[in-house]
A = this chain, B = another copy of it.
Amino acid sequence: MTKIEIIMADVRAKIATVTYLPGTRLPSVRATAKHHGFSPSTVVEAYERLQTDGIIVSRPGAGFYVCDIIAPLSLAAIGPNLDRAVDPLWVSRQSLETTSEALKPGCGWLPPDWLYAEGMRRGLRYVAKADTSVISEYASPLGLLELRQLLTRRMAGLGIEAKPAQVILTESGTQSIDLIFRFLLMPGDTVVVDDPCYFNFHALLRAHRVNVVGVPYTPTGPDVDAFASVLNEHKPRLYITNAAIHNPTGATLAPATAYRVLQLAQAAGLYIIEDDIFADFETTPAPRLAALDGLSKVFYIGSFSKTLSASMRCGYIAAPNEWVEHLLDLKIATGFGGGQLAAAVVLSALTDSGYRKHMAALHTRLARARAQTVPRLTKLGIVPWLIPQAGMFLWCKLPDSRSAAALANHCLSKGVVLAPGNTFSQSKNAESFMRFNVAQANDAKIFEVLAQALN
């Protein structure tokens, strides 16, 4: 960034975060120059460019003012001025945009042929023969009853008591979270996240213009003492976390931690979103906050994009009883009726006798991939923070405290997409960490590129 761009970004960010309201007079050229330690001519140039962009206006003799029509929401402008390589949106887009030839050990999902494509194909053929109403009509507001019933049975297996009338189908896990955020959060509210946590939580929270506070994640869950002080100091409204297998660390919540977190949350009147999209990867079930809490302040969400297919969008929310009607109103207002087809295909694939067999084989395949990948990484001095019980992730420390962002930038130019640690970290304390996906790390070229880069 040039000095001019720094000033422009600063003004844009203050407008985007409503620090500067429409009509606000900008600080004088002299004051801004002094503040940044730049020359006045740099500030003048920046202000003039902002004027050309239609963001501020000059009133002769009176200075510069923020235009009445303010700039549209720019997620890039709202966030802190991040290095693009650790911007959560950048990492998502790298994974989504790169061609299938690119190697993606930083990717957050399985390769397509590891998912349950056969079950999806059968589901599509089955649904092609369904009643015309299934083919053509909107779903009911809650969505396909049979799928909601199946989900409550699966939840019951994890100790979560939910009635089908508490389960709302959505378009995806992310949409589930977004809907709850819209419902619970106002700009300026504070939200607690795990540090590190799934990077798209950061992007989504940014879109909601809320304050985010991180709590260090330990191998058994969030650091409970730090969690207690954050509740005490910041009075947050919501805590969002993963169930089952934590992203990016692969850690599992211990029962004692779950119990203490919930006690603290209840005492503080905190809402919790428990994101369980990795549920089916578990081999030994971990405790669920939603089970302990009885869906009183916990919203439990999930989707099928990590095991069945990411191409057919379908997720769900199990919500506290009293919020179901409000969430449905919001779902209809913002997306109108859902469809029936995605839910019908997902139901068919999940109830298909092959799904269990597929998941059992996947567990074995992931264990094998983990066992292969760990020594290949440690040989390069890249050391897992822990060896997860299940799932696809390895959260690793780079040798000699190397910069993960620099490594990711370098490897991208060689066709290898990585996921640098600070993308996941609210405190930016994960500079020399990297998340690897063992299911996407089979190609020897990945380790050659890493070895060259680390030399």
Contacts and interface: CB of A to CB of B under 8 A. Distances in A.
Name the residue among A121, A125, A183, A313 with the largest chain B CB count within 10 angstroms. A313
A203 B141 CA distance: 15
A406 B332 CA distance: 24
Given A75-B333, A186-B18, A341-B312, A132 B113 contact: yes
Contacts of A146: none
B337 A310 contact: yes
A38 interface: no
A135 B109 contact: no
Interface stretch (A92-100, A258-266, A374-382, A429-437): A92-100
Interface stretch (A171-179, A397-405, A443-451): A171-179
Nearest to A178: B334
A207 B335 contact: no
B183 A72 contact: yes
Copies of this chain, count:
2
Name the residue among A204, A206, A329 with the largest chain B CB count within 10 angstroms. A329
A127 interface: yes
Interface in A193-244: 200, 203-204, 206-207, 235, 237
A324 interface: no
Contacts of A2: none
A120 to B, nearest CB: 5
A187 B339 CA distance: 30
Interface size class of A (residues with CB under 8 A): 35 or more
B92 A310 contact: no
Contacts of A337: 92, 96, 310
A29 to B, nearest CB: 26
Contacts of A120: 135-136
Contacts of A74: 326, 329
10 contacts: A18-B186, A69-B269, A72-B323, A115-B135, A124-B125, A178-B335, A200-B333, A207-B330, A311-B340, A342-B342
Interface of A: 18, 68-70, 72-76, 89, 92-93, 96-97, 100, 109, 112-113, 115, 117, 120-122, 124-125, 127-129, 132-141, 171-175, 178, 182-184, 186-187, 200, 203-204, 206-207, 235, 237, 269, 305, 309-313, 323, 326, 328-330, 332-342, 345
